[in-house]
Amino acid sequence: MNKQSGIHYLREHREAGSNRPVPAEVTRIRDTVVAGLGDLLQGAFDAVDDSLFELANNARSNNEQNRYFEAMREIRIKRKGVERHFQNTVAQYFANPPHTGPLQEETLNKQASADTLALVGNDDLEEQVALNAMITKAKAHFQGPLLQLQTRFSQVYPEATEESPVNPMAPEHLCSAFTEAIQALEIQIRERLILLKQFDRYVVSNLGMLLDEANRILIQAGIIPNFRYHGKAGQQHDASKSQSAGDEKGEAKASDTTATERPGETGSSSAVFEQIRQMLALQRANAGMPPRASDPNVRVVGDSELASLLNSLPLTGARQDQHNLSDGEPVSIDIRQLVQQVLSQADTGDGRKPALNEVDEDLINLVSMLFEFILDDYNLSAPVQVLISRLQIPILKVVIRDKSFFSQATHPARRLLNSLARAGIGWSSSDEKTKDKLYGQIHNIVQRILNEFDGDVALFETLNQEFEQFLERENRKASLVEQRTRESERGRIKSQTAQQTVDNLLKQKVSRYKLPESIHDILMNGWSRVMFLAYLRDDVEHRWNATVKVVDDLIWCLHPHQEDDERDQWVRVVPGLLKSLRSGLEEVSYNSSRLDEMMGQLKHQLAEAFRTNAAIEALQDSPEEPEEEEIATVHQTAVERQQELEEAAISEYVAQIDSVEIGNWVEFRLVNGASFRCKLSAIIEEADCFVFVNRMGLKVIEKTRIELAHEMRRGRLTLLEQGALIDRALDAVVGTLRSKTA
């Protein structure tokens, strides 16, 4: 392994991260982390080199072998630059730490421009899936150290808040820094996936020692030294909080342990769930409700008994014909009243009233509020919303049997609901149900739950796996179509821009002179084609400026030249000019017989201009034109004033449009009341063009930024939320409870 570690660049990193004063303990962490990540990254690059060499040796064709060798060469050449970029970016995180937010927001947060975002959108869908999986796995595996570090960093950085915590070492930030650094590598998707895999294996999977060292440095500095985690990753608790938790009743404490110390859960889900439970407990306390266990007239129904009672409930929609599940309005059930009816059946005749314990009551209230949110969620298309509403009773049974549904983000039933909602966000009411595979798949899943669920949560795991496999196949096909759509649109837009640029430039140059008809014909009908191709290929061949110079040289040669040095220059320029014109026109397959005739006329015109010293005539302005210009200026000023008013009116909407990222879903509403949903596929900056596609990857509509802002101002464009359904529902519940307890 190359031993030029991150320590070699320590001074450079210290400069890169020194935008503002950083506490001494953070500086120590930064230097340690940057050096450690440098060493780990070198191991990843060495492994990538070995993998590509092995793939090249086992290649089935010369083309495939050359592809791997070219990728090896590209990575070897740019490797040091990538390493330096990655380490500098990480160092800057400690001076200006990004706030730790949802994964979908963080993935593209570091991109420099809308153009870069558009380029990211061209990558194969598998790259984003691999990146998300890497981050999710790291956050689950290192949950304890990450939670400690986030809490401590949020004490160090004054801008951190409870809603926007700070952790420069969060996996999503490190992965974002790496994906930003490898943008410089011109390699294909297969090689990028190999690079991400080795980054995961050598860097992300070995973050534990760096996280522990960072925590140790902050503990030594006296920053929340009592915050500990115990056991496996994901089993953490605050010592001070665990002490106060001991005042709760035994049954509630056992349930809390199950909900908060289950391996693999995400800290944010557990924290939100615990926050909701505390607010519900506060509501009971404010209402003067005594603990159920202390009331001699109340018999608390245990979990197993409650689950058995709930089994008597029919699964809503189970007896309906499978073609009618999404017909009508979403099913609204008063779950609390339904549970009370079930409890009335548990009367044992001893005079005590059956009642739920606080934990089960909180869970049932949460299920009720969850589906209240789902039934009001505009982001779900109406048919999918109706289908998911059929699952209220099954989800209630799941929650009573397994209380980790709300605290564990990886719970099978929760993951399935999130997957159904995420997949259904792009389903439009105008789609034909009978012919749509996605709708059929969601419908079948709901039908199977209603028909087959007997209390075994494994059914949700099975259905989720089948659905994810279905989505993977569909997304793979759609991503290929979408990629072709993007490429086609980019080509079309670039061609339009090229043609418009050529036309405008030639008109501007030609309009100033009264050129001979033959010269005008050569430029407008012949050389314009050469300029068009040069514009399209300029990023590779760099010939655009040369084609423009040919136009300028030709017009210059037709001017009168009386000075000896100018006439000498004319003699030097004309042979090359004629050669460039002929070769360019031949390259665009200009008619050969017509070309000879045109070149003959051109030589004659040039010779006449040189011999007689005749001048091409400049077009003179007429005396009336100043008045017309003055009127035009006044009119233009009025137009500009009106435009300024329009721009001021839509400025806030333009800002919202600029926040839309590649892959985000929106809904357009037409004047006739119809609506359709589509996804932003590409932002073509040179034409200020936003291209939207449907679920199949086919182009639906394209609009400029200003047009989109006007659509939003008129209420005909809605941005759809991308977050996981259950997470959004829990956030909404927190807001509702907070307003009630305020």
Question: pLDDT tier at 348 (50, 70, 90 boundaries)?
Answer: low
Structure-block tokens of residue 88: 């500098």
pLDDT at residue number 81: 92
CA distance from start to end of the chain? 60
DSSP structural state of residue 427: -
For the beta carbon of residue 659, count every other beta carbon within 10 angstroms: 10
Percent of the chain whose pLDDT exceeds 90: 11
Torsion angle (degrees, nearest 10) of CA 263, 266, 269, 272: 90
Give the list of residues 6+ apart from residue 556 with CB closer than 8 angstroms, or none.
Answer: 573
Q: What would the two tokens of residue 730 be?
A: 């829990």
Domain 627-725 sits in CATH at 2.30.30.140
Local confidence band at 79 (pLDDT 50, 70, 90 cut-offs): very high
Question: Helical H runs in 58-102?
Answer: 62-95
Other CB atoms within a 10 A radius of the CB of residue 464 amount to 20
For residues 376 and 739, the answer to whether their CB atoms sit within 8 Å is no
Residue 101 binned pLDDT confidence (cut-offs 50, 70, 90):
low
Q: What is the pLDDT of residue 37?
A: 92
Task: For 251-260, write each residue's pLDDT tens digit.
Answer: 333 333 333 3
Query: For position 691, what pLDDT does the model report?
Result: 92
> Would you tell me the crossing angle of helices 24-57 and 207-220 to the nearest 10 degrees?
180
171-181 helix and 125-141 helix, angle to the nearest 10 degrees: 150
Give residue 680's pLDDT.
92
Q: Cβ(590)–Cβ(526) under 8 Å?
A: yes
Q: What is the average pLDDT score of the chain?
A: 77
More confident residue, 45 or 122: 45
Instruction: Give the model's pLDDT for residue 434.
Output: 56
Alpha-carbon 21 to chain mean position: 32
Residue 625 has pLDDT above 70, yes or no: no
pLDDT digits (tens, 9 = 90+) for 477-517: 888 888 888 888 888 888 888 888 999 999 888 888 888 88
Structure tokens at 58: 């086992």
Residue 159 confidence (pLDDT)? 80
For residue 287, what pLDDT band results from cuts at 50, 70 and 90?
A: low
What is the DSSP-derived secondary structure letter of residue 689? E
Q: Looking at 99-113, 388-402, 587-601, which range is the least confident one?
A: 99-113
pLDDT top residue among 695 and 332: 695
Least confident of 94-98, 288-292, 451-455: 288-292
With vertex at residue 474, the alpha carbon angle to CA 456 and CA 452, rounded to the nearest 5 degrees, is: 20
Q: What is the pLDDT confidence band of residue 41, given thresholds at 50, 70 and 90?
A: very high
Q: Which residue has the higher pLDDT, 628 or 152?
A: 152
> φ, ψ for residue 680 (rounded to 5)?
-70, 120
In the prediction, which pLDDT does 13 show?
A: 43
Average pLDDT over residues 39-52: 89
pLDDT above 70: residue 195: yes
Q: Quote the tokens at residue 38.
A: 């440098």
pLDDT of residue 232: 39
Whole-angstrom CA distances from 535 to 119, 502, 514, 519, 601 are: 20, 8, 26, 22, 27
Q: How far apart are CA 243 and CA 413, in angstroms?
A: 32
Residue 459: pLDDT band with limits 50, 70, 90: very high
Q: What is the 3-state secondary structure (H, E, C) of 711-723?
A: HHHCCCEEECCCC
- Residue reference for tokens 């709760």: 248
Q: What was the pLDDT predicted at 109?
A: 42
> Picking from 225-234, 417-426, 641-650, which range would have the lowest pLDDT averaged per residue?
225-234
- What does the alpha-carbon distance between residue 537 and residue 541 come to, in Å, rounded to a whole number? 6
Q: If you average pLDDT over each of 256-260, 408-412, 670-674, 677-681, which comes out highest?
A: 677-681
Q: What are the backbone angles phi and psi of residue 543, rounded to the nearest 5°? A: -115, 0
Residue 117's pLDDT band, with cuts at 50, 70 and 90, is very low
3-state helix, strand, coil in the chain (%, to 5): 65, 5, 25
Residue linked to tokens 């949020």 = 154
- Report the alpha-carbon distance of residue 428 to residue 668 in Å, rounded: 11
Instruction: Please state, in angstroms and rounded to a whole number, the distance separating the CA atoms of residues 71 and 189.
Output: 11
**pLDDT at site 233:** 37
Asked whether the predicted pLDDT for residue 658 surpasses 80, the reply is yes
More confident residue, 701 or 129: 701
Distance of CA 349 to the CA centre of its chain: 59
At 85 the pLDDT is 93
Strand partners, 699: 693
pLDDT > 70? residue 611: yes
Residue 78 vs residue 640, higher pLDDT: 78
For residue 363, is pLDDT > 80?
yes
pLDDT, residue 318, reads 41
Residue written as token pair 């089948």 = 466
Closest CA to 679 of 691, 671, 669, 670: 691
More confident site: 450 or 737: 450
Phi, psi of 683 (to 5 degrees): -120, 110
DSSP line for 503-521: HHHHHHHHTTEE--HHHHH
679-717 pLDDT, tens digit per residue, is 999 888 878 889 999 888 888 899 998 899 988 888 889
pLDDT (average), residues 464-476: 89
The H-or-E segment that residue 353 falls in is: strand 353-356
Q: What is the mean pLDDT of residues 351-370?
A: 81
Q: Which two tokens stand for residue 336?
A: 């609390």
pLDDT for the residue numbered 88: 93
Residue type, 134: M
Contact present, 694 and 679 (Cβ < 8 Å): yes
Q: How confident is the model at residue 20 (pLDDT cuts 50, 70, 90)?
A: low
Average pLDDT over every residue of 192-206: 90
pLDDT for the residue 16: 45
Say which residue, 351 or 61, is predicted with more confidence.
Answer: 61
Per-residue confidence (pLDDT) for residue 265, from 0 to 100: 41
